[in-house]
C-alpha cells in the first residue's frame, strides 16, 4: 500500500515518499538551544521553535514496483529522488 512518511529513513528503506521537516535543520536548532543553555539561559525561558524547512523525497523505484506514475512536475519539486 502506498504511503507518505515523515522522514527520510522510510523512503531510503523502500517507502514511496516522505514530506516533513528537515532533520538537519532540527539538529541545528537543537544546537542553538544547547548553546543558549550553556551560556546560562534557563531552559524554561527558551521559546519553542519548529523547523521551517520542509523536504519532499520520492522513491521512484517503489513507485514503479507499485505501478504508479509520478508526474514530472512532482519529481522536479522534490528535494531528493531515489531512482
- Alpha helices, DSSP H, located in 8-77: 8-12, 23-38, 60-66, 72-77
pTM of the model: 0.74
**pLDDT tens track for 11-61:** 999 999 999 988 888 899 999 999 999 999 999 999 998 888 899 999 999
d(CA 58, CA 8): 9
Could you give the C-alpha distances from 49 to 26, 46, 75, in angstroms and in order? 9, 9, 30
Q: Please report, for the chain, the start and end positions of each structural domain, with discontinuous segments joined by +.
A: 4-82
Q: Max alpha carbon distance in the chain (Å)?
A: 56
d(CA 9, CA 31): 22
Contact between 39 and 24 (Cβ < 8 Å): no
Amino acid at each position: 500500500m502506498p504511503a507518505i512518511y515523515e522522514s527520510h529513513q522510510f523512503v531510503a528503506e523502500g517507502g514511496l515518499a516522505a514530506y516533513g521537516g528537515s532533520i538537519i535543520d532540527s539538529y541545528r536548532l537543537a544546537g542553538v538551544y544547547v548553546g543558549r543553555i550553556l551560556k546560562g539561559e534557563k531552559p524554561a525561558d527558551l521559546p519553542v521553535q519548529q523547523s521551517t524547512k520542509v523536504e519532499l523525497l520520492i522513491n521512484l523505484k517503489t513507485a514503479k514496483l507499485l505501478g504508479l506514475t509520478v508526474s514530472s512536475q512532482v519529481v522536479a519539486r522534490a528535494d531528493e529522488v531515489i531512482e
